[in-house]
Amino acid sequence: MSTEEKSAAPRSLAEALRGRDDASLAALLRGRPDLITPVPTDLTQLATRAGTRASVVRALERLDRFALQSAEALAVAPDPASYGDLLGLMAGDPGDTADPVVAAALPRALGLLRDQALVWGDEDRLRLVRTARELLAPSPQHPSPTGLGPTVREATAGMSPGRVQEILAAAGLPSTHDSVSAVAALGDLFGDREQMAALLRTVPEESRAVLSRLVWGPPYGQITHDPAPHLRRLLDLGLLLPTSPGTVVLPREVALHLRGGRAHRATEPVPPPVTAAADHRPEVVDATAAGAALTALATVEELLKDWNEGGPPVLRAGGLSVRDLKRTAVALDVSEPVAAFWTELAYAAGLLAPDGEPDERYAATPAYDEWRELPDAERWALLAEAWLLATRTPGLIGGRDAKDRTLSALGPDLDRSAAPEVRQRVLALLAGLPEGSAPDEESVLARLRWERPLRSPRRDGRDTGGAGGGTEDDLRTRLARWTLSEAELLGVTGRGALAAPARALIGAPAGADGARTAPLAPAEQVAAGAAAARLLAPLLPEPLDHVLLQADLTAVAPGPLERPLAEVLGVLADVESKGGATVYRFTPGSVRRALDAGRTAADLHAFLATHSRTPVPQPLTYLIDDVARRHGRLRVGAASAYVRCDDDALLSEILADKRAPGMGLRRLAPTVLAAEADPAALLEGLRAMGFAPAAETAAGDVLIARADAHRTPPRTPPEPVPDGPPVPDDALLAAAIRAVRAGDLASTAPRKPAPGAASAAEGTPPRTGPAETLATLQAAVLTGEALWIGYVNADGAASQRVIAPIRVEGGFVTAYDHTADEVRTYPVHRITGVAELADDAG
């Protein structure tokens, strides 16, 4: 740690970084994780990387509105600028008009810019990283959000010296010897509030009106070939400067004077608060959310049950066809976007996937069967976690991509890397409200826009510039809206307010201020999920073990049913209405279905009698009996297996056997025995009796109409596609910083003079860093000098050689090896160091 350098003003970003302690470096790397992938060798490299355009754009995009405005102000300020300059630009000229709120908030914004390594330098010499300055400073092609134009110096760059002197004279300044000093004098005049005010008093009212039209930007105006006198006057004074024929610009200094020194028309120093639209009792919120959670579980189960016997086919381009989505929506009795949400949720949770067969279809995964066995609350927590972390964005479904193709559910191109972050952030903002408060949606959106202005520009176009144009612009806003509606569907919120289980899920205890921005680490998330499930469990209603049967052939389950009961009823009756309760209707078709599934009428009567609190209505008894009677008449499904043999005698022998009754054999025809035992038991029994039966699967013989559930091979849920590298944890950060520091120390430690021939003779191989090695090699190619290198061969043996490099390319150096007296090629990474030879060494 080079603490001694701290006192001296840093001369570069790298030096500024070197002066920062580990904690502050860690904060930087946490905020800009792209800087340590891969881990840089030293702070110089870190600083270089922090100055690359891609990285700076990324960092700027993550600034809140006020920090961004501060950066924009720095971009139009002199370089370097003092804190006073910046304050003047942000809060206005010192005096009554200066905004105290801005002054109070500015240190925080500046601190953030410093943390993010966008600004460095002392208070009196603040420097915006050059790339950031280029990105944010106004230019004709790329207007700044400040609406400011170029400086006098920039605007007069191509002007003839004579013209400059004329302006000087018109403004009442003494002439100078050269244009540079003339422009400087003009700039000083424009920057001086008093003189400038005096100058402006001399121009006519009309002229001042022209200036005021341009003052808040855009600063460019059109003039005719022969401008009117009031324009002429402005041009003469240099208050408007020509940029190209027919176009004039208001110089930055003039605009700032007219604006009272402000770079922005309006600054937003404090984040807009998230306001509550309604307050509910927390119990109501939790109960409503629990109700929705239960519905979510039921819906996902229903969806996969519907797809149990082979779901819809996978489109060739991937995803679900529009028709299948419609069908699913009808089956679930929800709108198509909601159906798409449930499908995507099940997919994100790894509960459904394409089965991978040649005729590819969607089906439940084995994980679904495990999921089904879990308690309700844990099942919900799994769904909610999957939703929270997924980058897949169901809200996009039905829209069109850049190539005008419809985005289909479960299809490609639905990943939006910002989605999890926005979800977490929205929920964190909700967590910041008091318990039971439902937020005003617009205030949430406004807050999000403030936090990431470049990612979600306002529609009025005040925020232009930055990366991401076109449809991506309001993606974050749309994501936030989707988050709010999906949260309600999933039971994360109830009546719009965050419910207690969801608070636990995002790791925000009740009453937290919602300041937490970083997502939970995987291990923490698992714990949070478990905590959420614990909170949810008591909120869910107890499953019931009975239903109410009615004479109109309906059954009402006045609450969630125990799973086995629900499953049998689901077969025996059609679901007519869902929600807190379930209404079932018995029809001949549904009863037949139950009989088909291997149940008998007696079974069903017993089942209904057991689970009904009231006597079974007579019409229902009749319905079952009627259907069962006709069902039996054709004798389909009554037998489980058969024995077929051309030899009647052999069948008689089997029937006569003492061990036969156990299998429930009976003769259907001379050559056919039917058995009550299932085929496997029958085979086993016959074998035990000393026969050699073979299993038969003749086409068309359906024994029991119970189809096997269709499953995919084991599948993993889709990986979220994060935006950039993941945020490193503390251990990794510490290690990275140690490594960078070490490398930095090595590269900046004072060096001994280059080792000469004498030291070579001592056998100490030179050691240099890879960058330096490469640079020296390249230099040697140009100069044709011989170098002394340390080299490790493929076997790991170190040696020293003297080479004259011929060319360096592709990681190899081709050189005349003085030691071996021939041209050889060495991999650069095997060269441990290089040193120039002493002059006498050739």
* Contacts to other proteins by CB under 8 A: 284, 287-292, 295, 333, 488, 494-496, 541, 548, 550-554, 556, 558-559, 577-581, 583, 614, 617-619, 622, 626, 630
Task: Compare residues 223 and 555 and give the one whose CB is closer to other proteins.
Answer: 555
- Count of all residues that appear for the chain in the document: 842
Phi, psi angles (nearest 5°) of residue 505: -65, -40
> Smallest distance, Å, CB 370 to other proteins?
28
d(CA 282, CA 39): 47
Q: At closest approach, how far in Å is the CB of 594 from other proteins?
A: 18
Picking from 145, 127, 124, 125, the residue whose alpha carbon sits closest to that of residue 136 is 145
The 3 state secondary structure assigned to 668-702 is EECCEEEECCCHHHHHHHHHHCCCCCCCCCCCCCC
**DSSP-based three-state secondary structure for 714:** coil
User: DSSP character for 59?
Assistant: H
Judged by beta carbon, residue 26 or residue 289, the one nearer other proteins is 289
Minimum CB distance to other proteins smaller for 475 or for 553: 553
Closest distance to other proteins from the beta carbon of 340 (Å): 16
Query: In this complex, which beta carbon is closest to other proteins, that of residue 558 or of residue 632?
Result: 558
Question: 410-444: string of b/e by CB count within 10 Å (b at 16+)?
Answer: bbebbbbebbbbbbbbbbbbbbbbebbbbbbbebb
* Nearest CB to other proteins, comparing residues 494 and 743: 494
Quote the CA–CA distance of 450 and 269 in Å, as a whole number. Answer: 10
Question: Can you tell me the distance from the alpha carbon of 69 to that of 145, in angstroms, rounded to the nearest whole number?
Answer: 9
In degrees and rounded to multiples of 5, residue 89 shows phi and psi of -65, -35
* Closest to other proteins by CB, 577 or 652: 577
- Residues 724 and 467 sit within 8 Å (Cβ to Cβ): no
> Residue 715, exposed/middle/buried by CB under 10 A (0-12, 13-18, 19+)?
buried
Q: Which lies closer to other proteins via its Cβ, residue 289 or residue 351?
A: 289
Please, are residues 408 and 325 in contact by the beta-carbon 8 Å criterion?
yes
Nearest approach, Cβ of 559 to other proteins (angstroms)?
Answer: 7
Nearer to other proteins, 408 or 554 (CB): 554
Classify residue 578 as exposed, middle or buried by CB count within 10 Å of its CB (0-12, 13-18, 19+): middle
* Rg of the chain (C-alpha set): 39
Nearer to other proteins by C-beta: 47 or 583?
583
612 DSSP assignment:
B
Longest CA pairwise span in the chain (Å): 134
Cβ closest to other proteins, residue 527 vs residue 581 = 581
Nearer to other proteins, 369 or 626 (CB): 626
Q: Please identify which residue in the block is written with the tokens 């404090």.
A: 270
Instruction: Decide whether 321 or 621 has the Cβ nearer to other proteins.
Output: 621
DSSP 96: T
Q: Which residues contact 724 (CB under 8 A, 6 or more apart)?
A: 33, 34, 58, 417
Minimum gap (Å) between residue 632 Cβ and other proteins: 13
Residue 304 tokens, joined? 């996969």
Instruction: Using the minimum distance from each CB to other proteins, give the nearer residue, 50 or 499.
Output: 499
Q: How far is the CB of 479 from other proteins (least distance, A)?
A: 20
∠ CA 521-524-530, rounded to 5°: 140
Distances (CA, A) of 627 to 533, 598, 613, 723: 44, 14, 24, 60
- Nearer to other proteins among residue 93 and residue 336 (C-beta): 336
Residue 601, token pair as written in the block: 């009428």
CB of 466 to other proteins, least distance (A): 35
**C-beta closer to other proteins: residue 146 or 554:** 554
Determine the Cα–Cα distance for residues 442 and 597; give it in Å rounded to an integer: 53
- For residues 541 and 292, the answer to whether their CB atoms sit within 8 Å is no
- Which distant-in-sequence residues (6+ apart) come within 8 Å of 647 by Cβ? 671
Query: What's the closest the beta carbon of residue 608 comes to other proteins, in angstroms?
Result: 14
What number of other Cβ atoms are within 10 A of residue 17's Cβ? 21
In the complex, least distance from residue 626 CB atom to other proteins, rounded to whole angstroms: 7
Cis peptide before 80 (omega within 30 of 0): yes
Question: Which residues in 306-387 belong to E strands, given as ranges?
Answer: 352-354, 362-364
Q: How far is the CB of 445 from other proteins (least distance, A)?
A: 18
Q: Please answer whether residues 365 and 711 qualify as being in contact, where contact means their C-beta atoms are separated by less than 8 angstroms.
A: yes
Task: Report the nearest approach of other proteins to the CB of residue 619 (Å).
Answer: 6
Distance CA 16, CA 23 (A): 14
CA 693/CA 644 separation, integer angstroms:
9
The CA distances from residue 656 to 651, 660, 661, in Å, are: 9, 7, 9
CB nearer to other proteins: give 574 or 684.
574
Q: How far is the CB of 558 from other proteins (least distance, A)?
A: 6
Residue 550 CB, shortest distance to other proteins, in Å, is 4
Q: How far is the CB of 341 from other proteins (least distance, A)?
A: 13
**Cα–Cα distance measured from residue 419 to residue 350, given in angstroms and rounded to the nearest whole number:** 18
| Least spacing, CB of residue 329 vs other proteins, in Å | 14
CB of 302 to other proteins, least distance (A): 12
**Nearer of residues 199 and 498 to other proteins, judged by Cβ:** 498
Helix residue spans in 702-766 (DSSP H): 730-748, 757-762
Q: Nearest approach, Cβ of 601 to other proteins (angstroms)?
A: 15
What letter does residue 65 receive in the DSSP assignment?
H
Work out how close the CB of 490 gets to other proteins at its nearest, in angstroms, rounded to a whole number: 12
Kindly tell me which of 295 and 819 has the beta carbon lying closer to other proteins: 295
Structure tokens, 778: 């390249």
